[in-house]
Amino acid sequence: MKQGDHKTGHSQRNRFMKAKEIQELIDFISNSGLAEVKIETDEFKLSIKKNSEAPAAKPSENITPQYTQAPTQVAPPAPTEASPAAQNLLEVKSPMIGTFYRSPNPDAEFFVNVGDSIQKGQPVCIIEAMKLFNEVESEVSGKIVKILVDDASPVEYDQPLFLVEPQN
């Protein structure tokens, strides 16, 4: 009977971190206030660095989004009127850290534009995190009043992405 066989089977099962575990780790680090974290094991290297002036992380491997898009002109914000409705705007926030994309691919139309009416559960953008593209659905219904993030920009967990005027 070999004593190492049982141990090898166990380590094989826990060899790689699951995407959910990685996302939880990123969320934890984001909320901890740490500026930089490096984790290195036999199986992988993970380097996470927060820097508000240069938001692009420098991972140990060259990880780039699967598509790039030329910067797009963002429409100037609509003039705001001093009305009670302006104070009742809802936010659609980022559920994770990643890169914000307004369209499913570079050649496609944007999911939503200023002035569009949206329904709860409707896809409004994509957040790319570690080569995984996550469709973000609105948690509110209403009209898009302002898009707060430029296309292909890095976003933080819980960062407001859109301002929505609720429907009556």
Which of 158, 137, 145 lies closest to 88, judged by CA?
A: 145
List the domain boundaries for the chain.
Answer: 4-49, 84-166
pLDDT at 144: 96
pLDDT means per 10 residues in the chain (168 residues)?
A: 48 55 70 68 66 46 44 47 63 95 94 96 94 92 96 96 90
Residue 141 CB contacts under 8 Å (≥ 6 apart), including other chains: 117, 118, 119, 120, 164, 166, 167
Topology given in CATH for the domain delimited by 84-166: OB fold (Dihydrolipoamide Acetyltransferase, E2P) (2.40.50)
Round the CA-based radius of gyration of the chain to a whole number and report it: 20
Distance CA 145, CA 147 (A): 7
